[in-house]
Amino acid sequence: MGIPTETVYGLAANALNPEAVVNIFRIKNRPAFDPLIVHIPDAAAAEQYVTHIPAPAHALMEAFWPGPLTLLLPRRDCIPDLVTSGLPHVGLRVPAHPLTQALLHALPFPLAAPSANPFGYISPTTARHVADQLGNQVPYILDGGPCTIGVESTIVGFDDQEAPVVYRLGGLSVEVLEAVCGPVRLQLNQSSNPAAPGMLAAHYAPRKPLLLGAVPEMLEGLEAQKTAILAFGDTSGLPKVRRVENLSPGGDLSEAAQRLFALLRTLDADPDITAIVAVPLPEVQLGRAINDRLRRAAAPVLLSRKEQVWRALEQVADPEIPVLSVLDLGIVREVSFDAEGNLEVAITPTYSGCPAMKVIEWEILATVRSLGYPHAQVRTVLQPAWTTDWMTPQGKRKLQEYGIAPPGERGRLNRLLFESAAAPACPLCGSTDTNRISEFGSTACKELWRCTACLEPFDYFRCH
């Protein structure tokens, strides 16, 4: 159901029921099982779901709960792996909205609730936003009026010395936090959801090697009597190995999602198993998210250092157009290591003075340092200059789906010299009957256009 909070509207389900939680991922169409924030009625309820609360956390609870503050704390076993993405900490929050407060006090369980919008879209701040974006996928929406804050909660965790660490900036400023708990350290994460101190790329992976792919190829070089297969659906054609566990014998993606973390832990704990081979699931619906989770678990085995970095950079979003990654934009030019193993990422700015580039640089550093490269650096390369020709086809498709007309296939200079200035098609209805309203759109890299067919304005990502 959709619930109002002071930050944004949430898509809520019973946080203690994996079957209910999996519906959040299905409805949001999320490509990855990122951790979810768990909403509780008051600070006293936190003791039921966490094993330890540091002293600074108590101070923050007293000062800011109810309110836009999420605390990352070590979870109890009653919190399902699906909620935390297998991580040892859970994000807890006490929302301040009176309607949701009443709901939480009436329920015998907490609510897992990310923002109530499809993956990659703007967070909703009214009940109408939720209805427009999710439609009849959500049977109930509590209309609590417009959100009073409208940005997500600030996420705070604690290091080994129990010092506060801010993982996401939100409804509470750093200055306000420090007035209560003293100095805090910033370790900002590109994900919109809470993660453990290892950040987004450091999801739960088995201690034993996990290989993902066609089973006969993956088994080459492995000892069958010490290998397990994590299967999906029909297993009649699988080679004989020590052990086979099936995510869903009937091929049910929802069942597979609910069983994923438990079966990974089961195989990892088996003393007779030295390696795990996972069968890829269909790349549809929840299958995409399960495969993403398996790829993350397999990454330490299957990927080189450079490949791990490139894979992690896929998760760094453009702060101005969050559906695009820095790889979609084509601004990452090189990933390299020096003789001492120090990492350097070379990037080219989209244009001189772009205000988003400094934020992107910070996010890249946070991401690659979370992989275990504390001395990583970002180097700026100005020549050759960036062009929209470097954007990936996938990135241009994402722009189109997001409601922004993508640039053409050629750079701006070629277009001006050799081609007529064809009007971009409307990304909303596809009509080419469009006209430019202004050379300046929502950001400096866009123009504002209007479709004369559907009468809607839209941004056009101009050629560079």
Per cent of the chain over pLDDT 90 is: 50
Q: Quick one: pLDDT at residue 198?
A: 30
> In the chain, what are the domain boundaries?
2-186, 210-301, 305-380, 398-461
Question: What's residue 204's pLDDT?
Answer: 43
Q: Is the pLDDT of residue 189 over 60?
A: no
Its CATH class, for the domain covering 305-380, is alpha beta
CA 358/CA 370 separation, integer angstroms: 18
313 pLDDT higher than 60:
yes
Check: CB of residue 11 under 8 Å from CB of residue 74.
no
Owner of token pair 């193993």: 341
Amino acid 410: pLDDT: 54
Q: What is the mean pLDDT of residues 11-18?
A: 96
pLDDT at res. 197? 28
Long-range contacts of 352-360 (CB under 8 A, 24+ apart): 354/444, 354/445, 356/318, 356/319, 356/320, 356/443, 359/319, 360/316, 360/318, 360/319, 360/326, 360/331
Neighbours of 450 (CB within 10 A): 15
pLDDT per residue over 320-376, tens digit each?
888 999 999 999 999 987 766 678 999 999 887 778 888 999 999 988 887 767 888
Take residue 124 and report the two structure tokens written for it: 């909703």
Same fold: 2-186 with 210-301:
no
Give the containing element (helix H, strand E) for 186.
strand 185-186
Mean pLDDT of 103-119: 92
The span from the CA of 330 to the CA of 451, in Å, is 29
Tens of pLDDT, residues 195-235: 432 344 434 467 788 888 888 878 876 788 999 999 999 99
| CATH entry, 2-186, from 3.30.565.10, 3.90.870.10, 3.30.465.10, 3.30.379.10 | 3.90.870.10
Alpha-carbon separation of residue 121 from 115, 139, 193, 379, 401 (angstroms): 10, 20, 14, 31, 10
Q: Is the peptide bond before 282 cis (omega within 30 degrees of 0)?
A: no
Taking only Cα atoms into account, the Rg of the chain, rounded to an integer number of angstroms, comes to 24
Spatial neighbors of 375 by CB under 8 A, at least 6 apart, are 342, 343
- CA-angle at 15, arms to 11 and 17, nearest 5°: 115
Which amino acid is residue 367, in one-letter code?
T
Residue 41 gets which letter from DSSP?
S
| CB 34 within 8 Å of CB 82 | no
Determine contact, residues 453/428, Cβ cutoff 8 Å.
no
pLDDT in tens, 30-78: 655 678 999 999 999 999 999 999 999 999 999 999 999 999 999 999 9
pLDDT of res. 30: 66
Cα separation values, 47 from 42, 70, 78, 360, 407, Å? 10, 15, 12, 38, 53
DSSP state of 75: B
- Rounded to an integer, the average pLDDT of 408-426 is 62
User: Which single residue is written with the structure tokens 């009957």?
Assistant: 433
- 361 contacts 331 by C-beta, under 8 angstroms: no
CATH topology of domain 210-301: Rossmann fold (3.40.50)
Mean pLDDT for the stretch of residues 370-391:
87
Once rounded to an integer, what is the mean pLDDT over residues 175-188? 87
Cα–Cα–Cα angle for 212, 216, 220, rounded to 5 degrees: 85
pLDDT of residue 150: 65
Q: What is the pLDDT of residue 299?
A: 55
Poorest-confidence range of 111-125, 286-300, 367-381?
286-300
CA-closest candidate to residue 235, choices 226, 227, 243, 224 = 243
What percentage of the chain has pLDDT greater than the value 70?
Answer: 87
In terms of average pLDDT, the best of 110-114, 128-132, 300-304 is 110-114
Q: Residue 15 — pLDDT band, cuts 50, 70, 90?
A: very high
Contact 402, 414 (CB under 8 A): no
In 250-376, the DSSP E strands lie at 275-278, 332-337, 343-347
pLDDT at 166 over 90: no
Q: What is the mean pLDDT of the chain?
A: 85
- Return the residue matching tokens 């509207």: 9
